[in-house]
A and B are shown apart, each in its own frame.
Chain A
């Protein structure tokens, strides 16, 4: 018997109690009679009683305690009681929804950050450093992305744009945006990378990477054989092992700046390795450009990243690979745009709004 047949036979014996299906079917009739459907497990009866008492209370940020209690008992029930809050203050910074634009299943959100009270943190662009999280109450799934816009000196506000895409059309759906970290005052500068000290041969060492950039290829399986690696399990659970330049280590690098730790040519692949410094609480990254003899600029073909820990600090390393058109390195040059995330501030910003 084939695996497919065996698996199907095995799954046929996994059956749902028919009574559960009948319960669901009964809810259609309930809905047809315009009663609101409540799925109430016996254990949530106490929560329902608590709610009857609580609905008379004014809805404010202070009800969050009640919300947490209900959520621990019945998350689905708690979702219907989250108040709308379009401004949230934490750690002396206010996050605010400025505008919402909806187009079918896509929405754009303009959010501002500004100093609240007598603090003075915001005087440049900001970044949430991937600490944002969207929770939707009505659509099945939402994906979102963040774009750093600009800082406006007149209003003293830094602006971000969040773009959302949902499974179905937005229809005044309620949503919560949570942010836990803010990088204030982002900067960037251009620097040259010295290619005159290319080492060949270069000793390599094995590291366990925690990410890779796609560069010009879509899948790690498309890597040339000159870049050997081993995979253990799925990327998000297991680690891939790569051979990278045995250059400078974390202890040789600045904690608050980007250091070039190795430049090598091995097996026809140009490798440029850099340490981003301590990124435990901030972001530093580089956009690297190889400029050929004919003046053509290009990004790397591939890159990997890994960390080295020193105490509580996390030094992040990148190794960038170039294997196309690297024959004439004598007349090539390299430069990078070095981005620094600046100061990191931690908080608990939460705004709940309607996408309309």
Chain B
């Protein structure tokens, strides 16, 4: 039992940052990202899942995070709340103003574009891996990435 406790704890600590950053990049909001972070790990704890390898583990957590964010957008009570306010501005402070500006620019992209930018550039996933996580066809993911880059270039981001 102690062995199983350590393993689960290790897995949670190992993936916590990745899940939080992915949720934050999609929701642009610290509070919502914290909710999703908790939701993802509660599901993991309840599921009693065993991972075949590190890649399987990473893909599982990212997929559940992406799906949880999508469900978050769809929830009816969330839509009632959002009708009174627009998507919240990113709530973080950067020591480097340039980094802050970059995240704000990425934050202006549509949701799916933000998602693929994060998974491609931060998690360094391939198009195929992003396709499995998001459920989009590889050609669709490629198109999203191309359009995201195009939009960032329009915003004078050096790609």
Q: How far is the CA of A168 from the CA of B5 in the complex (A)?
A: 23
A75 on the B face (CB < 8 A) = yes
Mask, A74-87, CB within 8 Å of B = 1, is 01100000000000
Mask, B3-24, CB within 8 Å of A = 1, is 0110011001100110011001
* Chain B residues within 8 Å of A141, by CB: 63, 67, 70-71, 135
Q: Measuring CB to CB, which residues of chain A are less than 8 angstroms from any residue of chain B?
A: 3-4, 6-11, 13-17, 20-21, 23-25, 27-29, 31-32, 37, 39, 71-72, 75-76, 140-141, 143, 167-168, 218-219, 221, 231, 233-234, 237
- Using known A-B contacts A10-B102, A20-B38, A37-B42, determine if residue A140 contacts B112 with beta carbons closer than 8 Å: no
Main secondary structure on A side of the interface with B: helix
Residue from A37, A143, A219, A237 in contact with B45 in the complex, judged by beta carbons closer than 8 Å: A37
Residue from B12, B110, B113, B137 in contact with A21 in the complex, judged by beta carbons closer than 8 Å: B12
* Chain A residues within 8 Å of B94, by CB: 10, 13
* Chain A residues within 8 Å of B25, by CB: 11, 14
B88 on the A face (CB < 8 A) = no
Main secondary structure on B side of the interface with A: helix
* Chain A residues within 8 Å of B68, by CB: 140
Residue pair A10, B100 in contact (C-beta under 8 Å): yes
Residue pair A14, B38 in contact (C-beta under 8 Å): no
Q: How far is the CA of A29 from the CA of B71 in the complex (A)?
A: 28
B26 on the A face (CB < 8 A) = no
Residue pair A167, B99 in contact (C-beta under 8 Å): no
Which 10 A-B residue pairings sit nearest by Cβ, starting from the closest?
A: A10-B99, A16-B20, A141-B67, A234-B110, A24-B41, A4-B121, A3-B159, A7-B121, A10-B103, A21-B16
Residue pair A219, B63 in contact (C-beta under 8 Å): no
* Chain A residue, CB-CB nearest to B92: A14
